[in-house]
Structure 1
């Protein structure tokens, strides 16, 4: 799980789909603008000293390119066209500026377009960027032509590399979701099988005493009704989790008993054995929860513990709070660690967060996770009880 990021209800949202968060978009703009201003802006000022009348117009065109870069995550094709036209205008005004430098902003836009748009679109953009190559040859000869083509192809290639990286992250997240859904399906199967077995026994007991002890038969029938409602909720969860893209598990491995919040102290003890201080606080009755909600809450706490042990640098204390109210169960896990420098979902992290989100989503709940302002990391889930019945 990536401790440096926040949460998202959709595990494939954001940059994995080619979109950028507002913070990432601002960082991209500042970086691109700084590059264009420092390289192209400096070249324009130096070359414009001998063309006093042309310098203000060239500077205005450079600023227009910088402003256009603000919208490149949303409309990279339009921004590329604007930067290409203004870049050629700068080069026409100040021939002392190389064509490669004048079209620097366009190359940045080409990189962004290559990373976020289909390959056929980026290939057409690459071809369009190669059209001014004869101008580079006419001004700088073979060396100028080679430098320009290398710069354009490099910008396109970097974008393709970034696109391939995003595709790999998307594949890993999809695989994580499939594995988590298959795991949920196996566990729900065990719960439903147990519930139906109890219903069969209760039905047999009710039939045996139906005439002699009608009150006991009624108790058995009420137990059957309760079990049937619970089993119905589990089957709904199973149908949501066991999608056509879920992989079939034919290993035949013996499964452990389905965990629940009743075994939360055992889970905490296993974490304490690593030297971590664990505080567990439970409010409200958790023994009557639907099995799907009970299991989801337990798995979320378990994954949050794993996240603390693996990724919380310097953490030595973690607190768990489970609050069971009338309509929902709230689970909060907070540690006092810090995110390691350089952590990134691109390195294969993020699978734990995907699993927790999937657990919460399948029972109709929500989950948020992220660092706290004063230090530490928090995982908070809200799981409805009524929606799981």
Structure 2
């Protein structure tokens, strides 16, 4: 069974190998130049100094194999080895050891937190300066002040210089990571809110369906009792009652097929069955919040507006008015609203909620999710109705729902 290497391990190995090969290539070039440069005496290829420096470079590069979480330790390791080389084999090849230290400093600033890097970088810089000073002293230099100044500059260049670009890159990475985390958090919050809203809506619809089913079943129970009493004395009426029971049973089965869910208690409020008769109370509640809402009922005065409208249809009408008034308050605060119930068509009931444009200097709320329109359209589809919404010619907004009547409930039902 093979185990895939982690990306961080592969990058560390590639960095260490590249650093070692580059340092050894530079060491080889310096050894070639030593043939013509008397100042590099003793740095010839194959000499003890050369081999000692080569081993030091390999060991320094091997420190880069440590995990990114130990990049500061790798920086200290490369600096310590340079001091050891300066003490054992001082010479012109010491400068090559600055390459692994530079790479280690860059990696440390790139991967480790700045709070820890600054102290490790300061300590490593001191070690590099000490190594440079020891190497110069081992070569026989007697200008201590100048040598100390050069040692400090060497440490600043080797350790301090790579910290600047690495810190900028690390800051950019941290910024991108923070932005991605913020985006992920916003996405999770949005999904949670949508899930909560859907759960509450489903629970409310399930509770309301229970109430509707109870309404139908109560009627079925009463009709069944009447049929039981009329079976012997009035068989024709019993047969008619049985057909009505069958019709009511089909209605409730259809409602159950349209909307099935688990009954869940989402709170003590809003427990009553919502019908067209409760719409005036809804409008009055909106008026108490400061909204300007007019209620217009257009009827032929021969029947109640709710006649022939199933309980599920009346619930859809109530929710349509409720959601429309909520949207008007959110997107057009202060606008005048008109709720119209048109009962003149014997086959359909039409509801319209129209709001004018928002008043000047009003500040609409956020745009919202758009689920309100979707919910109203789905409710209309469940009852076989039609829903439409859109802007009006005067920059207002209008929602309309057409709800079919159940013919067997109409007063003017034909025989």
Q: TM-score normalized by structure 2?
A: 0.48
Q: Which whole-Å CA distance do the structure 1 matches of 2:269 and 2:364 have between them?
A: 40
Cα distance, 1:185 vs structure 2? 0.9
Q: Which whole-Å CA distance do the structure 2 matches of 1:288 and 1:358 have between them?
A: 21
Which is higher, the Rg of structure 1 or of structure 2?
Answer: 2
Q: Is the 8 A contact 1:261 1:286 kept in 2?
A: yes
Q: Which whole-Å CA distance do the structure 1 matches of 2:311 and 2:206 have between them?
A: 13
Cα distance, 1:370 vs structure 2? 5.8
1:17-32 matches, cutoff 5 A: none
Q: Which whole-Å CA distance do the structure 2 matches of 1:151 and 1:366 have between them?
A: 53
Q: Is the 8 A contact 2:340 2:353 kept in 1?
A: yes
Distance of aligned partners of 1:354 and 1:255 in 2 relative to their CA distance in 1, 3 Å threshold: same
1:140-155 matches, cutoff 5 A: 141-155=162-176
Q: Which whole-Å CA distance do the structure 1 matches of 2:364 and 2:224 have between them?
A: 60
Structure 1 residue ranges without an equivalent (≥5): 1-129, 132-136
In the alignment, what sits opposite 1:335? 355
What does the per-residue CA deviation read over 1:86-119, in whole Å, with 9 as the maximum and x for residues that have no partner? xxxxxxxxxxxxxxxxxxxxxxxxxxxxxxxxxx
Distance of aligned partners of 1:341 and 1:277 in 2 relative to their CA distance in 1, 3 Å threshold: closer
Distance of aligned partners of 1:144 and 1:302 in 2 relative to their CA distance in 1, 3 Å threshold: same
Query: Given the alignment of the two structures, is residue 259 of structure 1 paired with residue 280 of structure 2, yes or no?
Result: no
In the alignment, what sits opposite 1:177? 198
* Among candidates 264, 279, 283, match of residue 248 of structure 1: 264
Q: TM-score normalized by structure 1?
A: 0.50
In the alignment, what sits opposite 1:158? 179
Query: Given the alignment of the two structures, is residue 268 of structure 1 paired with residue 291 of structure 2, yes or no?
Result: no
Cα distance, 1:165 vs structure 2? 0.6
Query: Given the alignment of the two structures, is residue 301 of structure 1 paired with residue 321 of structure 2, yes or no?
Result: yes
Q: Is the 8 A contact 2:204 2:266 kept in 1?
A: no
Cα distance, 1:151 vs structure 2? 2.4
Partner of 1:289, secondary structure, is coil
Cα distance, 1:186 vs structure 2? 1.0
Cα distance, 1:295 vs structure 2? 1.0
Partner of 1:211, secondary structure, is helix
Distance of aligned partners of 1:182 and 1:159 in 2 relative to their CA distance in 1, 3 Å threshold: same
Cα distance, 1:364 vs structure 2? 6.6
Query: Given the alignment of the two structures, is residue 229 of structure 1 paired with residue 238 of structure 2, yes or no?
Result: no
Q: Is the 8 A contact 1:180 1:358 kept in 2?
A: no
Partner of 1:318, secondary structure, is strand
In the alignment, what sits opposite 1:289? 309
In the alignment, what sits opposite 2:293? 277
Q: Is the 8 A contact 1:271 1:278 kept in 2?
A: no
Cα distance, 1:334 vs structure 2? 1.9
* Higher alpha-carbon deviation: 332-341 or 187-196: 332-341
Q: Which whole-Å CA distance do the structure 1 matches of 2:178 and 2:265 have between them?
A: 40
What does the per-residue CA deviation read over 1:284-314, in whole Å, with 9 as the maximum and x for residues that have no partner? 9642123222212211212222333354222
Distance of aligned partners of 1:270 and 1:254 in 2 relative to their CA distance in 1, 3 Å threshold: closer
Q: Which structure carries more relative contact order (alpha carbon 8 Å, separation 6+)?
A: 1
In the alignment, what sits opposite 2:215? 194
Q: Which whole-Å CA distance do the structure 2 matches of 1:149 and 1:178 have between them?
A: 43
Cα RMSD of the aligned pairs, angstroms, is 4.0
Cα distance, 1:375 vs structure 2? 2.1
Aligned length: 241
